[in-house]
Structures are given as structure tokens and as C-alpha cells.
Structure 1
Amino acid sequence: MHPATRQGATEALGAHTIAMAATFIAFGVATREAGFSLGWGLTSSAAIYGMAGQMVLLGAQPGAGTAAVAGAIMANARFMPMAAALAPLVRGPLAPFCVPFVAITPWAAAMRNLPGLPAPDRARWFLGFALTVWTIGLITTAIGYALAGSLSSGVLRLLLMVNVFYFALMIAAGLSRGGPWRASLGGALAAPLALLLPAGTPPAWGLLAAALIGGTAAFLLRRR
């Protein structure tokens, strides 16, 4: 194994991955309680690899078909700007292999660590990190599936939110060190706009609208 790949895999074994694993355990439990097979849950975790999209697909009504898939894609539309932000840091022949593994946990770690690595090692580091957390996501989905029936609904809701809480604390820690306060403030103020959407509008539209409005406001504020 290339040293950069080994370094990425080693650094993946931290608090961020524990937080992510908690959400995949909850997803595994929810998959079984919804009547889906373990294979369905593992395929969802492997191919979608984004909890918002996975939960949209899991909660879709029978026969939803294309609408359910479209909802899952919209819920994970945030990965597109994340990939665009990552692209300048990861170049070379291995860069295309990094795209399927862009998710919040590996992306946040990459944006923090890649600038300090030699350019030829960045894609290898990212793949080592991302493949490790992706594999852990599959394992913990199976663990959750096996635990179905032994966890209360309150515990499940808490597990689903652990990753959110973790990254909220990371943002707060970043702000205390002079991080991007305009973007954080814009997101926080724009998020309630999702509550103003007309009835029947997919919730994912609220996420996209809040991000567009809050992010644009933060960008303009910084330019000013």
C-alpha cells in the first residue's frame, strides 16, 4: 500500500467515523423495520452513500419509482458543489476514482488535510480515507440491521443525528479559530426559509434554496 493511502486509511479511524457509523447503524435498523432486505440496505449505503438520500428512498411510498429516485438525488445534490470544491486539490489519473466517495465525512477531512500534502499524494490519501469510511458504513449498516428490534425509537433518532451534531461542533470549533463565519451565519439564517415552502414541495428543495440564498449572501458580504 502506498504510504499516502495508508496514512489516509489510518486517519479515517477517528471520532468523525464513529459519528458517521452511528447514523449507518440507525439506517440499518430502519431498513429492517421498513421490511427491506439486508441486501437492499447494503446496496443503498454503497451506491447512494449519503444519509439524506438514503432516508428519502427508504421512506418513499410503494410505487413511487422515478419520484423516489429523483428525491434521493435532490437530497444529495449538495455533493456537486462539494466535488467542485475538492477538484482543484485532487488531480491526476486517480482523480476520477475519488468522485463516487465524495460525502460529508471524507470531504470535510480532505478539505482540512489535503492542502498540507504533496500534490501527487492527495488522491491516494483521499482514496485511503474514503474507502475506509465507506467500508465502515457498510459494516455498520449490517450491524444496525442485526440490532433491529433491540433499540428504541428515541435511540434511533439520536443515532441519526450524531453525525449532524458532530459537524455542528466542528463548525463551532472552526469559528473559534477564525473560520468562515459568514458562510456559517448565512446558512443558519437561511435554513428556516425551508419552512416557507408550499405544502407538497419536496424537503430537498428547502435545503437547496437555503444553501443558495445563504451562500450567496455570505459571498456578497465577504466581497463588500
Structure 2
Amino acid sequence: MKLHNYFRSSASFRVRIALELKGLSYDYVPVHIAKGEHKQPGYVAVSPSMLVPTLETDTGEQLGQSMAIIEWLDETHPNPPLLPPEPLARAQVRALAQLVACEIHPLNNLRVLKYLVHELKVGEDAKNAWYRHWVREGLLAFERELQRLPRGTYCDGDTPTLADCCLVPQIFNGQRFGADFAGLDRTMAVFDACMRHPAFIKAQPSSCPDHEA
């Protein structure tokens, strides 16, 4: 498999975590979105949506959207599973994952921040305040949802799931922007546990071959 991705992209990071949790080998193909490489014809041929990540399967199919990629990985390589077996628990894990992927991340990805600066002429301080505000609001909601679930090492029990794959990259990027994590006790305890897990360590941006690009 080949993973076309950008080291700082939280969506890319999610997929790298899933691949590492499942012990799957892949070729790392860097796409530097900050330099516009996702808009070059070569990558547009791989991803018409011009988004990262894209996973090329062993048989040559090209899959986009991190959540769809991770669920495909879970269905085709079911061990270890990234979703619990019970329907209710599966829905709860998906809901946590979507709080990050659908509520926080879309407001703070690179193209939104660039639009704020270049088109709406928002200053750097205001842009960063925007980022920190929406990360904080989203993670407060995440914390409240976690508080309703039985406490475990990770978001759902003592095994990493799709929710952890989504949470960790968002915390990483929030740290870069100086987001406020005060009062997020359960959330940050999960993050700390994840960052003691070899799969999360290996998938983090500083471990990527293009992290200094």
C-alpha cells in the first residue's frame, strides 16, 4: 500500500495511527500541502478532490477521506479491531471520532486558515484565536461525552479505537497553536495513554520522513 499524506495533516495522522495499530506496512508518499503540492496535476490524478490523505491499495485502488480509509482498513484487516463489537459501543466510538473529524477539524484545517488570512484579511493573532476557540469548544464537548462513558485507558475501554485515532492528531495540532486544554481531564488522560503506545509514537509527525520539509 501507498499512503499519500502530509506529516502535519491531522487526517493523514489518523490513518498512519490506524496502519501502525494494525501492523501494516506501507510506502510513505509525501504531499506538502503548505507548498501546494496537492494541487499539482500528478496528485490531482491520484486525488481529484485534492485532499490528503489518499491510500493506494495493494491492487491499485485509490481511497480518499481518512474516516473511510480507516473503516476500510478495519474491514479488510480486522485484527486488532478499531471499533468495538457491540452496536451501541460502535456508535459511541463513531460519535467521538466524528466530534473531532466533523466538528473541530473542518473549522481549523489549512485551507480554512489560509482563506481567513488571504481572502478575509484576518491578522495572525485573530487567526490563531479562531483556531484556539474552536479547538477548545470542540474538546469541551468531547470531554463531556467521555464523562458519560465508563472510564478506561483509552476513549473506549483499554484498547485504542477509531476515536483515539482522531483525538490524538487534534491534540497535537492544538498544542502547536497554544490551545487551552485546562479542565479536559479525561481527554488528556487518554491522550497521555496513547502517547505511551508504540503505534501512536511511530505515527506522530516528528517520525515522518518529511517532517523537516
TM (norm. structure 2) is 0.30
- Higher RCO (C-alpha under 8 Å, 6+ residues apart): 1
From the two aligned structures, give the one with the greater strand fraction. 2
From the two aligned structures, give the one with the greater helix fraction. 1
Structure of greater Rg: 1
